[in-house]
Amino acid sequence: MTSLLLLHLLLLSLFHHNHSLSTAVNIHRKDQFRPEPISNLATKKPTTTTTFFEVTKTIQVPKTNPCSYLLLQHDFGFTYGNPPVLANYTPPTNCPSQNFDKIILQWEATCKGTQFDRIFGVWLGGVELLRSCTAEPTASGIIWTVKKDITRYYSLLMNNQTLAVFLGNLVNDIYTGVYHVNLTVHFYPSEVNSGNSVFGYGSLADLILPISQNVLMNDGLWFRIDNSDDAESKKFMVPQNAYRAVLEVYVSFHENDEFWYINLPNNLSNSHENGAFREVVVTLDGVEIGAIWPFTVIYTGGFNPLLWSPITGIGSFDLPSYDIEVTPFLGTILDGNTHEFAFSVTNALNVWLIDANLHVWLDKKSVKTEGQLLKHYVSPAVVSLVSNITGINGNIFTTANKFVSSVGWVKSSLGTITTNSTQRFDFSNFMVLGKDGNLQIVNQTINFNDSVHAEFPSSFFSIQSSKRFPLYLYLETVDKGNQTSSSLTNLTLGYDEQRAEAGDFGLFGSSLKNLQNGQGVLLQKGNSVYAGTGSTQQAYQYDDSKFCYFRNVRSSNYAILHDEEGKTCSK
């Protein structure tokens, strides 16, 4: 039985929540996929501080001594309903060098007690630098560190800014965990005093505009998308000498859409779940310019927290952002007037948190560039659904695909550059429902490919990325009588990306294969977990021919059983 109070608290504890709870839940029991935190689990309890981590490649830094600064030290106790924590940011004027090859943001946190996984964001001048979720603590304490390469925000980091951090935490008699956080930035001076002189498409943006909310009294700077009709927008203006623009979009999904990929079509559930397909749509002045079919991040409390301790889910500590090339549309926004980006989510349930950063490249040799959109084509997502459900057992097969292509030219002191940007998407979600609502199997794959090709008078620049997000879930609940049940979760979660950049400089290619397998069981009485196990295996392999990184790691119930790491390229 679902305790309404607990469920309410649970939802409230993650976010501000302003709708009444849907009561009819036939097949899906959401509380089952988002169990109570398990710091007090009698068995398998760690007795020392556990270090959580997300497997990712080490960041390559130059052999120089970094200039490091503490940006913020804060204890996130009962912060829910408060505004973000603010601090003044100044660039590293005391550093002997003023040219930096690498800039790294470091989040270090400890927590002890019982607490949910909380989403948090770090913004500089309204530009989101990091979106992440916290780890769920244990009674004997946890610690974790997230390091993110933020070099791409270089121009922003060279000016005074306001830093904002929002982590909505709720502390009471039950949820006791306070997150103690140090946020540090490391500036690595360049090895050779070349400066950051790379010019043109491959360089870092000259200006980064926030496409986020202004600081509010009680939330982060995210836009909140609560349903499929919701569209949230922001007005902006670009300098009239821009020659390239890229919109970097951050998304995360929570509450009723935290597990959107297991949601059932509306004719099969009496709570409106809107099926298992979602896409984030981005418009510029009302015209769709691109979409995001997001990676299925599973937060540290998802399905079974023991699957994510201490190895956390792919992307959970550093949620991916997605780039949409805006250059083909520059001609329409170079008029010195305000324009508007808007975000919506097809089939959305509450709540999606979305914002973006507009990276803009400026022509330092002219005050005015011009441009024109030549071609623009969007094939809307075609979703097909086939099912043979009888009663509540059967199969549901959902597929979708989409193509977006935009071509435009921009004339600057670099000459006339014609940019062709494309996005290709492919989605398949195969679901099995069985055992009268107690079994659900989901086998989903998202292919998300994009390319940008810029043709210069006598050269070119191109980027191609093919991303593949496989997800397999086996979710089974067995009623053990006496109000107890066991929930089995076996899963596979993958993030693969092949990237290639080509131009005057030659060709730069990289390949990432990142795969997690997990198996877990939770025994629950009512809403509380009284026993459980969780094992995770992860294989991570990155190769860009200059730098390689691999890690194979296995864990079981907070303990690392095997850990192998390497930096040599095998082939």
Ligand X SMILES: *[C@@H]1O[C@H](CO)[C@@H](O)[C@H](O)[C@H]1NC(C)=O
Tell me the β-bridge partners of 323.
248
Task: Report the nearest approach of ligand X to the CB of residue 310 (Å).
Answer: 16
The contact mask relative to ligand X for 218-257 (x = CB under 6 A, - = no) is: ----------------------------------------
The angle subtended at Cα 513 by Cα 295 and Cα 116, nearest 5°, is 45
Contacting residue, 162, 213, 395, 527, with ligand X by CB under 6 A? 395
Q: Among 47-55, 247-255, 416-424, 501-509, which window interacts with ligand X (CB under 6 A)? A: 416-424
| Token couple for 162 | 């306001």
Contacting residue, 212, 422, 536, 541, with ligand X by CB under 6 A? 422
User: Smaller CB distance to ligand X: residue 98 or 519?
Assistant: 519
- Total residues binding ligand X (CB under 6 A): 41
Task: Report the nearest approach of ligand X to the CB of residue 268 (Å).
Answer: 6
| Token couple for 238 | 């670009």
Q: Does residue 180 belong to the site contacting ligand X (CB under 6 A)? A: yes
Structure letter (DSSP) for residue 160:
-
User: Smaller CB distance to ligand X: residue 151 or 464?
Assistant: 464
Task: Report the nearest approach of ligand X to the CB of residue 128 (Å).
Answer: 22
Q: Does residue 407 belong to the site contacting ligand X (CB under 6 A)? A: yes
Q: Among 1-9, 124-132, 178-186, 274-282, which window interacts with ligand X (CB under 6 A)? A: 178-186
Contacting residue, 77, 394, 437, 503, with ligand X by CB under 6 A? 394
Q: Which parts of 497-556 interact with ligand X (CB under 6 A)?
A: 519
Distance CA 482, CA 480 (A): 7
| Token couple for 217 | 């009294």
Q: Which parts of 182-211 interact with ligand X (CB under 6 A)?
A: 182
Task: Report the nearest approach of ligand X to the CB of residue 201 (Å).
Answer: 16
Are 280 and 294 a contacting pair, CB within 8 Å? Answer: yes
Q: Which of 299, 357, 327, 296 is nearest to 115 (CA)?
A: 299
Task: Report the nearest approach of ligand X to the CB of residue 533 (Å).
Answer: 9
Q: Among 5-13, 122-130, 164-172, 177-185, which window interacts with ligand X (CB under 6 A)? A: 177-185
Q: Does residue 472 belong to the site contacting ligand X (CB under 6 A)? A: yes
User: Smaller CB distance to ligand X: residue 255 or 323?
Assistant: 323
| Token couple for 96 | 């002997």
Q: Which long-range contacts (CB under 8 A, 24 or more apart) does 384-388 make?
A: 385/265, 385/275, 387/265, 387/268
Q: Among 46-54, 298-306, 341-349, 385-393, which window interacts with ligand X (CB under 6 A)? A: 385-393
Burial class (CB in 10 A: 0-12, 13-18, 19+), 564: exposed
User: Smaller CB distance to ligand X: residue 222 or 317?
Assistant: 317
Tell me the β-bridge partners of 472.
443, 492
Contacting residue, 140, 405, 486, 556, with ligand X by CB under 6 A? 405
User: Smaller CB distance to ligand X: residue 143 or 249?
Assistant: 143
Q: How far is CA 369 from CA 8, 54, 187, 387, in A?
A: 54, 43, 33, 53
Q: Which of 432, 448, 441, 497 is nearest to 472 (CA)?
A: 441
Mapped onto helix, strand or coil, the DSSP state of residue 298 is coil
Structure letter (DSSP) for residue 429:
E
Q: Does residue 388 belong to the site contacting ligand X (CB under 6 A)? A: yes
Distance CA 395, CA 390 (A): 9
Any idea how long the chain is?
A: 571
Q: Does residue 459 belong to the site contacting ligand X (CB under 6 A)? A: no
Are 484 and 523 a contacting pair, CB within 8 Å? Answer: yes
Distance CA 290, CA 470 (A): 22
Are 357 and 127 a contacting pair, CB within 8 Å? Answer: yes
> How far, in whole angstroms, is CA 554 from its chain's centroid?
24
Burial class (CB in 10 A: 0-12, 13-18, 19+), 401: middle
Q: Does residue 490 belong to the site contacting ligand X (CB under 6 A)? A: yes
Q: Does residue 94 belong to the site contacting ligand X (CB under 6 A)? A: no
Task: Report the nearest approach of ligand X to the CB of residue 411 (Å).
Answer: 17
| Token couple for 471 | 């997800």
The contact mask relative to ligand X for 139-168 (x = CB under 6 A, - = no) is: ---------------------x--------
Distance CA 296, CA 101 (A): 32
Q: Does residue 38 belong to the site contacting ligand X (CB under 6 A)? A: no
User: Smaller CB distance to ligand X: residue 479 or 565?
Assistant: 479
Q: Does residue 110 belong to the site contacting ligand X (CB under 6 A)? A: yes
Q: Does residue 387 belong to the site contacting ligand X (CB under 6 A)? A: yes
Q: Does residue 337 belong to the site contacting ligand X (CB under 6 A)? A: no
Are 276 and 263 a contacting pair, CB within 8 Å? Answer: yes
Interface positions with ligand X (CB under 6 A): 73, 90, 108-110, 160, 180-182, 265, 267-268, 375, 385-390, 393-395, 405, 407, 420, 422, 424-426, 428, 443, 445, 447, 449, 451, 466, 472, 474, 482, 490, 519
